[in-house]
Amino acid sequence: MPCGVMWQVKVDTVCRKWSGSLQIGLTSVPLADGSVAVPASLSLLNPAETWFVTRSEVWHGGKILSNNYCPSLDHIDVDDVVGIRRSAAGCMHLSVNGHDIGVAATDIPQVW
């Protein structure tokens, strides 16, 4: 994914039974080549190579970097659009419905 490009998903259904079921982030784990199966949760990928947002938390290295980074993603509704990008400065940004929430994590390597 080139720097500055926003990768977005549009929510088409919501199940309120599960907290933390929406996770979005960046990883340097090579998923596209098929050598690693895409897991059910980003927390199951190599934590040293994965940064992600779930609920209102930012995770990296198996630890919470920020506890109240954003309004909880558990409140996302049908037709909302959630996006993630890596800036040229190596920062991960979350976007909700076109609004940049701000820097979620820094020092994200450029591997793609």
Token output for 11: 């929510």
Output the pLDDT for position 34.
Answer: 65
For residue 111, being part of any structural domain is answered with no
Q: What is the pLDDT of residue 102?
A: 95
Which pLDDT tens digit goes with each residue over 14-29? 887 776 678 888 887 6
Distance CA 37, CA 35 (A): 7
First to last CA, the chain: 6
Contact present, 86 and 110 (Cβ < 8 Å): yes
Domain count, the chain: 1
Token pair of 75 as six digits: 């409140």
| CATH at residue 42 | 2.60.120.920
Phi-psi region of 31 (alpha: psi -120 to 50; beta: other; left: phi over 0): alpha
Q: Report the predicted TM-score, pTM, of the whole model to 2 decimal places.
A: 0.83
Ranges of residues in the chain whose predicted pLDDT is under 50:
none
pLDDT confidence of residue 80:
97
Contacts with 20 (C-beta within 8 Å, 6 or more apart), sequence order: 54, 55, 74
| 1 falls within a domain | no
- What is the domain extent for residue 70? 7-105
pLDDT at residue 62 in the model: 87
